[in-house]
Chains A and B, each alone.
Chain A
Amino acid sequence: MSAPTLAGLTGAALVGLGLYGLLVHPHPLRKLLGFNLLGSGVFLLFGIIARKGAAAGFAADPVPQAMVITGIVVAFCATALSVALLLRLFEAGGAATLRPDVGRDDSD
């Protein structure tokens, strides 16, 4: 199995795991972790594209790598913002959940 194929399969597995976690797990922290897995899978895809579609005779195309760095920065910011919101939610409501009926009534 060649390296790009292996990376592709790993990326696909990460996307699957992340999507499942993001959609199915009720807890927001798990959803956030799911998003990060999903993102990592997509970033791997960019790595493969950089390797396979190497433009202009480079050993690896730098453009997808530039894009993936931007993507990682964005995912990092998103994670930080989510965690900050999650902490505020826990402080304000006494529970970190996304279900509107829990948190307000169960906190007291």
Chain B
Amino acid sequence: MNFLLVLSLVVPIAGALLAFGVGGRWVSRIALATMPLGLAIAVAIAAGLRPAGGSLVYLLGGWSPPLGVALRADWLSALMMVTTAVVISAIGLFARADFPAGMTETRRSFAFWILLLAVWGALNTVFLSGDLFTFYVSLELLVFVAVPLVALDGRAETLQAALRYLLFALLGSVLYLAGTGLLYGAYGTLDIGVLSGRIRGEPVTAVAVTLMTVGLMAKTALFPLYLWLPAAHAGAPAAASAVLSALVVKGSFFIIVRLWFFVMPGLAGVAAPQLLGALGAGAIVFGSLLALRQERLKLLVAYSTVAQLGYLFLAFPLALDAEAGRLIDGSALIAGLVQAASHATAKAAMFMAAGMIYVALGHDRIAALGGVVRTAPLAALVFLLAGVALIGPPTSGVYFAKTLFLRAADSTHQWWWSLVLDVGGVLTSAYLVMLVARALAPADQAAPSMAGIVSGQQPVAALALVLCSLLLGLLPWHAWLPLPLAVTTPDPLSLDALWSLVWPLLVGMALAALMGRRQNQRPLRMALWLEQADHALRQWPAAGFSLLGLTIMLGVALLLTP
């Protein structure tokens, strides 16, 4: 069984190298042939966990840590690996039309398919890595393949976005590297298992963990460090945006989880997880309100990613067992990871839909979306369903995660996080409602001449992903995860379930009317303030100062932990 861990790294990377060597029309064929193989390996690892006692370990070269390097798979790795495999395969199907092999623009398609496989390999390395230095290497791999994906078009704006992304991510990785150096200097190992036994609540630990966490937050684009995300995710081609938004940002989030829950679960204290949660809450509110203010559809989806990343960080305060004083890798963490999987599938589909709408209309200005229901009905449907999946109807993964979060908020007496969850649902509904209103408006001009034709396969791939997200809550999680209590899906037609779906929509409608862009009307002063704050945060000096400020706050919170 354990050799599967190595295979899951070797298969995508061998595919990428083979495609690079062979080239021509074989590039996309090799990539597409790799996908079912990689998916099968990921599923086999997930299925093999229970019989193996919850985790699989492979020692590279037979050397055991602390001297050697180990690959480890547990339920977190398996969940993320299967999600990655599913999303990458769907993106592969979707991209066949956009990046044809052997015809025009071969260089662009050549790069895309190889980068897609390389992202996969890098992500699997992140998920299987057993020590903090392998995390560093895999993070760098991930950035180096994600940056060219941003700039596939070669236009000046996208090159600029790619460069901003690269430079900010490099800042993050240097901070991470400095943290690993300090930890090695203090404890003489970077293996997660060995380190968690040796680590103590010393100042050097606090400084190291602060540097690493802040660096990773910069790479995850957690509010307020999202300076690079909107331009990078909105400027890339649809298939590339889907990879970046759905998967790449989850890689660095995963490492934060590993660091906090598996290296130093007993040293987190009370204040630091609350700070992480507060940043998540800030992301939800700020990102969603800004999504309402966007003029272009892809930018709206990008800001929605900024907002949705916030949910993942709610896992930190909610997983804290105040009596034991440690982070518990129980239901709150499961909620965070399932939320990540649901967001990955829904957001990839949403970017695909936005791309199809762009092709069908020849533009993606939100104000001129009228008539899209007739021009590109399937794309509009996928977009709507993806939005609904993000709000979280019963049966969806988001609903499952939300139920677990609410349960954790209840049992740890932290009511404020359930408030954040409700507000988040309302805000997500708000931008979805606004888009639906725009899309249903009559088209104000004749069909534009720019419009292209969406290939028949593309909506199918996107629809399959949306259905994954919408039905994720129905999977037998209880049998596979260490869940103390099963989550029962309520009857979707019951009054309670309907009401829980309807009230956020109603409040969201009011909010959309209040905060959205309207013609011939002055926006609210608050909306203007928001836009100014957003503009400032996307400049280097402000982003740099918030990074330094966060470092100080997190450092103080960790240093003061008894």
Q: Which residues of A contact B155 (CB under 8 A)?
A: 92
B184, A63: Cβ atoms under 8 Å? yes
Q: How far apart sit A16 and B94, CA to CA, in the bound complex (Å)?
A: 46
Would you call B171 and A24 a contact (CB within 8 A)? no
Chain A residue with Cβ nearest B167: A31
- Choose from B133, B166, B545 the contact partner of A82 (Cβ within 8 Å): B166
A93-B181 contact, Cβ under 8 Å, with A39-B174, A55-B188: no
With A35-B171, A82-B167, A85-B159 known as contacts, the answer to whether A23 contacts B544 (CB < 8 A) is yes
B157 at the interface (CB under 8 A from A): yes
**B184 near A67: Cβ-Cβ < 8 Å:** yes
Query: Are B180 and A67 in contact, CB atoms less than 8 angstroms apart?
Result: yes
Q: Considering the complex, which residues of chain A in the window 13-71 have a beta carbon less than 8 Å from any beta carbon of chain B?
A: 15, 19, 22-24, 26, 28, 31-32, 35, 38-39, 42, 45-46, 48-49, 52-53, 55, 63-64, 67, 70-71
> Contacting B164 at CB < 8 Å: which of A24, A64, A78, A98?
A98
CB distance from B311 to the nearest CB of A (A): 29
- Decide yes or no: A86 and B163 within 8 Å by CB, A45-B178, A67-B133, A78-B140 being known contacts: yes
Please tell me if B185 contacts chain A, counting CB pairs below 8 Å.
yes
Query: A68-93: which residues lie under 8 A (CB-CB) from chain B?
Result: 70-71, 74, 77-78, 81-82, 85-86, 88-89, 92-93
* Min distance, Cβ A19 to any Cβ of chain B, angstroms: 8
| Contact call B160/A98, Cβ cutoff below 8 A | yes
Closest to A94 in B: B156
| Chain B contacts for A55, CB-based, 8 A | 188
* Docked CA distance A76–B541 (Å): 25
State whether A81 touches B166 (Cβ < 8 A).
yes
Q: B41 at the A/B interface (Cβ < 8 Å)?
A: no
B163 and A28 contacting across the interface, CB-CB below 8 Å: yes
A78 to B143, CA, bound (A): 9
Number of A-B pairs whose CB atoms are under 8 Å? 111
B162 adjacent to chain A (CB < 8 Å): yes
Is there contact, CB below 8 Å, between A85 and B163? yes
CB distance from A70 to the nearest CB of B (A): 6
Q: CB of B147 within 8 A of chain A?
A: yes
Which residues of B from 144 to 166 have beta carbons under 8 Å from A?
144, 147, 151, 154-157, 159-160, 162-164, 166
A42 engages B163 (CB within 8 Å): no
* Contact yes or no, A64 B181, CB < 8 A: yes
- Tell whether, in the assembled complex, residue B185 and residue A52 are in contact, meaning their CB atoms are under 8 Å apart: yes
Partner of A88, one of B151, B180, B544: B151
Tell me, in angstroms, the Cα distance from A89 to B164 when the chains sit together: 12
Counting chain A CB atoms within 10 Å of each CB, which of B151, B163, B173 scores highest?
A: B163
Query: In the bound complex, how far is the Cα of B156 from the Cα of A85, in angstroms?
Result: 10
Identify 14 residue pairs between A and B in the complex whose beta-carbon atoms are under 8 Å apart, listed by A's number: A23-B547, A39-B174, A45-B182, A48-B185, A53-B186, A64-B181, A70-B137, A78-B140, A85-B151, A85-B163, A92-B154, A92-B159, A100-B157, A103-B160
Please name the 7 residue pairs, one residue from A and one from B, whose CB atoms are nearest each other, closest first. A93-B156, A23-B544, A49-B185, A89-B159, A92-B156, A42-B178, A74-B140
